[in-house]
Amino acid sequence: MIAYIERFVHENDAESRPNDDSVTSLTDNDNDSGEDITSLCKGQDLQGTIDYELTGSAGKDFGGIRRTRPLAVVRPANPRDVALVVRAAGRSPNLTVAARGNGHSINGQAMADRGMVIEMRAIEDYYFEIININGSHCADVSGGALWEDVLARCVLGFGLAPRSWTDYLALTIGGTLSNAGVSGQAFRYGPQTSNVTELEVVTGKGDIVICSEAQNPELFLGVLGGLGQFGIITRARILLQKAPDMVRWIRLVYAEFDEFTRDAEFLVTRPENGESFDYVEGFVFLNSDDPVNGWPSVPLVSDQWFDSSRIPPAAGSVLYCLEVALHYQHHDHPSTVDAIVDRLLGRLRFCENLRFEVDSSYMEFLLRVKKVEQRAKANGIWDAPHPWLNLFISKRDIADFDRVVFSKILKDGIGGPMLVYPLLRSRWDDRTSVVLPEGEIFYIVALLRFSPPYPEGPPLQELVAQNNEIIGQCARRGYNFKLYLPHYETQEEWKQHFGNQWTRFVERKASFDPMAILAPGQKILSRTT
Ligand code: FAD
């Protein structure tokens, strides 16, 4: 296999071909070569399959901004296959390998232009086991499993659930752990990367390594939030809690940003053993009847109505919504749940009578974005390009960000949610690879654009330019901020992103992926021989 891959790579030497991200056309010769690689890999005991992805999903992602053409797509049968492919790439002069989770990146992060893409979902069922370690339950799950499947297996089979989530669950374990994995539970439990106790990883050297805080800690901490740079996660051990049966899901409207942030920060800093909500998020919406961006985006169910006469006359062009949820069990008396909610809400300053609530099953609540996906698929918006922008911004700068970005640049909305809510740095582990702004409280801002494809919606370039304008404003105004799910084109920008963690990043790369084989779509370091 190796000899043949080398020949193929020489024939397709990256330097001899234009280095752009567009789909290159295939020649008959390329296709013939592909079939040979397949047969040679079989000779190497690969249990899975190798395919030649010409127009399929491995060269695309949810962002819909970039397209590449991989050399081949591997569907492994087990972690050993993953290691075999990485080792094979290591013996070639310039092959790279991208683990692809569910391809929900925005800027080609899971792609490998003329490299090998490993479809991790092919081994999504390879591991699944609930284990009890000193009285704490954990789930051992495959890196390629979807969080929504882990949810169903844990809750329905065992009455247990992971503690920290993302808003949308058709994402893989390995994909979110390579970034952070953030939702409304993170203020309490930290991101998903803070809720993992052990990993099985295939390093860039092709070694299969078990790691944890106690065993190979540098690899463990490096891989968490490591943008796929140090290893491919084939198994993760996820901390579980008893799953609640139900959730009281509440939305509260604010006219003033400072009141919104004061209440959000009050809720996320409640003492751990006192009463508090189990989920705290927030979003910005337009002070208008715009069906997508305005008042109608706030009610939780169709029989609720947004009474705009309740909005204070001094309100500006945008309003704010605090979104909270309280877990409870079927056996909890409704009056007990009401009393906790009333005590917590009694301390808040939202607009009177602009409060929406609904009781929902725990699984329905966690799968709430699935419904959005189904609607967006039906009207063609799911498959349109999504130039999303995610930022972490320090508490110090968030009010200015509101004035400059939400209230001015984005005053007409983005055709989708504009999330903004506080997180606590102490719930994150600064030994992992994730980089954060300074200060204990910082905000996540997620601009989740869902415009119809051009010409029905704005041209993609216009939206990308608006994102760049926002990043430019943050830089010019001296905000303390970091991109979440970062994307840069140059190493200089990556160095700036990592700041004083760049040296540690480079050292970890040298230890675990010295030839820079893994995750080339992140464009951090180039493949060496
Ligand atoms: P991919 O896009 O396939 O891969 C992402 C990166 O991880 C690539 O570099 C890839 O090479 C690497 N990778 C993939 N699998 C592995 C593995 N097993 N081991 C090592 N590296 C691997 N994020 C949040 O934090 N919170 C949210 O609420 C949230 N909501 C989202 C909603 C939607 C609709 C979408 C599209 C994205 C959302 N995200 C959210 C972002 C999401 O967490 C990241 O884009 C994540 O990387 C997607 O997971 P994936 O499995 O599709 O990964």
Answer whether the bond into residue 385 is a cis peptide, omega within 30°.
Answer: no
Residues 113 and 172 in one domain: no
* Residue pair 487/177 in contact by the 8 Å Cβ criterion: no
Using the 3D structure, point to which of 242, 259, 294 is the last residue of a domain. Answer: 242
Residues 143 and 106 in one domain: no
Predicted ipTM beyond 0.90: yes
Pairing of strands 116-119, 97-100: parallel
Q: Is 331 a catalytic residue?
A: no
In this structure, the residues whose C-beta lies within 6 A of any atom of ligand 1 are 61-62, 98-105, 109-110, 120, 143, 166-168, 171-172, 174-176, 178-183, 227-228, 232-233, 485, 519, 521-522
Residue 339: inside a domain: yes
Task: List the CATH number of the domain containing 438.
Answer: 3.40.462.10
Mutate to test the pocket of ligand 1, among 102, 168, 390, 512 (most ligand atoms within 8 A of CB): 168
Q: How far is CA 398 from the centre of its chain?
A: 22
Residues 335 and 309 in one domain: yes
Task: List the CATH number of the domain containing 216.
Answer: 3.30.465.10
Integer-rounded Cα Rg, in Å, for the chain is 23
Which residues contact residue 108 at a Cβ distance below 8 angstroms, ignoring those fewer than 6 apart?
21, 61, 63, 65, 66, 68, 521
Residue 253: inside a domain: yes
Which listed residue (281, 357, 397, 402) is catalytic? Answer: 281
What separation in Å is there between the alpha carbon of 269 and the centre of ligand 1? Answer: 28
Using the 3D structure, point to which of 197, 212, 242 is the last residue of a domain. Answer: 242
Which residues contact residue 339 at a Cβ distance below 8 angstroms, ignoring those fewer than 6 apart?
none
Residues 260 and 326 in one domain: yes
What separation in Å is there between the alpha carbon of 172 and the centre of ligand 1? Answer: 7
Residue nearest atom 18 of ligand 1, based on CA coordinates: 174
Residues 314 and 408 in one domain: yes
The secondary structure element, H or E, covering residue 511 is helix 502-512
Residues 342 and 394 in one domain: yes
What separation in Å is there between the alpha carbon of 26 and the centre of ligand 1? Answer: 29
Residue 528: inside a domain: no
Mutate to test the pocket of ligand 1, among 74, 105, 113 (most ligand atoms within 8 A of CB): 105
Which listed residue (167, 256, 332, 373) is catalytic? Answer: 167
Q: Which of 105, 80, 108 is nearest to 96 (CA)?
A: 108
Domain count, the chain: 3
Residues 358 and 332 in one domain: yes
Check residue 228 and give left, alpha or beta (phi > 0: left; psi -120 to 50: alpha).
Answer: left
d(CA 307, CA 55): 49
Residues 308 and 291 in one domain: yes
Residue 503: inside a domain: no
What separation in Å is there between the alpha carbon of 370 and the centre of ligand 1? Answer: 16
Question: Going residue by residue through the chain (529 aa), what tens digit of pLDDT does each one get?
Answer: 443 344 344 434 333 333 334 333 333 334 444 444 454 455 568 999 999 856 678 999 999 999 999 999 999 999 999 999 999 999 999 999 999 999 999 999 999 999 999 999 999 999 999 999 999 999 999 999 999 999 999 999 999 999 999 999 999 999 999 999 999 999 999 999 999 999 999 999 999 999 999 999 999 999 999 999 999 999 999 999 999 999 999 999 999 999 999 999 999 999 988 899 999 999 999 999 999 999 999 999 999 999 999 999 999 999 999 999 999 999 999 999 999 999 999 999 999 999 999 999 999 999 999 999 999 999 889 999 999 999 999 999 999 999 999 999 999 999 999 999 999 999 999 999 999 999 999 999 999 999 999 999 999 999 999 999 999 999 999 999 999 999 999 999 999 999 999 999 999 999 999 999 999 999 999 999 8
Residue nearest atom 20 of ligand 1, based on CA coordinates: 232
Nearest-atom number in ligand 1 for the CA of 192 is 25
Residue nearest atom 35 of ligand 1, based on CA coordinates: 104
Phi, psi (rounded to 5 degrees) for 436: -130, 160
Task: For residue 207, give its domain range.
Answer: 128-242
Residues 469 and 386 in one domain: yes
Residue 490: inside a domain: no
* Residue pair 47/77 in contact by the 8 Å Cβ criterion: yes
Instruction: Please name every residue paired with 54 in a beta bridge, in sequence order, or none if there are none.
Output: none
Using the 3D structure, point to which of 201, 221, 242 is the last residue of a domain. Answer: 242
Nearest-atom number in ligand 1 for the CA of 62 is 36
Residues 475 and 342 in one domain: yes
Residue nearest atom 32 of ligand 1, based on CA coordinates: 168
Which listed residue (104, 137, 327, 386) is catalytic? Answer: 104
What separation in Å is there between the alpha carbon of 119 and the centre of ligand 1? Answer: 13
Task: List the CATH number of the domain containing 22.
Answer: 3.30.43.10
Residue 176: inside a domain: yes
Residues 141 and 65 in one domain: no
Residue 497: inside a domain: no
Residue nearest atom 13 of ligand 1, based on CA coordinates: 175
Nearest-atom number in ligand 1 for the CA of 99 is 11
Nearest-atom number in ligand 1 for the CA of 521 is 9
Residues 271 and 386 in one domain: yes
129 token code pair: 């086991």
Q: Is 429 a catalytic residue?
A: no
What separation in Å is there between the alpha carbon of 348 and the centre of ligand 1? Answer: 34
Residue 388: inside a domain: yes
